[in-house]
A = this chain, B = another copy of it.
Amino acid sequence: MDDTIKDKETPQLGKYELIEEFAKFFPTENGSTVVGIGDDAAVVAPFEENVVSTTKVFLENVHFDLTYVPLIHLGYKVVTIAISDLLGMNAIPTHLMVNVCVSDRFDLKNVSELLDGVRACCDGAHVDVVGLDLSTSRKDLVITVTAMGECEPARLLTRQGAKENELICVSGDFAAAYAGLLLLEREKKVFLAQPDMQPDFEGKDYLLRRQLKPEPRLDIVEALRREDILPTAMTLVSDGIAAAAMQICRASNMGCDLFEEKLPMTELTFTTLKDLDIVHTVAALNGGDDYELMFTIRQSDFEKVKNVANVSIIGYIKEKAAGCHLVTGDNCLIELQAQGFRNLKS
């Protein structure tokens, strides 16, 4: 599209040769892969009836900041985010396509680092990379990831389906990634003011890892199958617990109570947020970047879900009229507010 413009704006990439070269990064393993990188489109022959797909776009200085994000971690993270959307439907990720737009600020080595991260995350999740496209950008790095997966129809979970009295579960712990982001932003400011200062992250490895290199919760989706638990609704928690709970309630036409004292958080996250003067519950509810799963289960699955590691029950589903609330430690009801539901100019 409009090569003339491209020619004027940016130096040329030896695009096709380069894609062929990078294709070697991504040998395919899945039996369902038919055509991988290098033709007009990718072709897969899914084993299951339902094909689940998502595309995520990542813009430099909007969605990521290269002053403190290493490219290899960025590659890993964008894959985690894309395949987490599929996990949020209870699907198993199988294939991935990636598009990278670079300006002359970047060289081959940079693109290789990014794709090394993409490969590492895909390898861990047994996902085949079947699409790769390179393009020029004016200045900022732009990354697009399309993830595809499979699900038997009986196991597919949307946000719709939660019923009254069902239990609300989440995987992992919360606000660690948000605390990590705050630390990185703080040290960035220090660095910009005094470039010879060394960043101070001692003992904060877990928080940085949660922000920079989050893991997709494939283990949870697999454990639910193993324990023969079929949740009634499911979603990815990417913008905080509150938004996820409200999305399930909205789609299911229900309300909920979440219990402040049940929100899972590590001691390190708690003390770090305290030192940063952030209310830890607000960070868990609205922090973002957790990429954990939220799902609702029948009361009858209560015993079974105890066998799934790293899952906490944080509340239960109520009738719609009850609304969506947090029950605080001192038994106050606070209405949930989701970030993201905001006005825009029209």
Question: Residues of A at under 8 Å CB distance from B?
Answer: 1-6, 9-18, 34-35, 38-46, 49-59, 61-65, 77, 81, 85-86, 88-89, 91, 95, 97, 99, 101, 104, 107-108, 130-131, 133, 135-138, 140, 142, 144, 146-149, 151, 153, 156, 158-159, 181-182, 185, 235-236, 238-239, 247, 251, 288-289, 338-346
Contacts and interface: CB of A to CB of B under 8 A. Distances in A.
A135 B43 contact: no
**How many chain copies does the complex carry?**
2
Contacts of A11: 344-345
12 contacts: A1-B77, A1-B81, A2-B65, A14-B343, A15-B342, A34-B156, A40-B235, A56-B99, A57-B135, A59-B101, A104-B345, A142-B142
Contacts of A54: 40-42, 97, 131
A16 B99 contact: no
Nearest to A158: B39
A168 to B, nearest CB: 16
A339 B58 CA distance: 28
Contacts of A158: 35, 39
A25 to B, nearest CB: 16
Nearest to A235: B40
A2 B40 contact: no
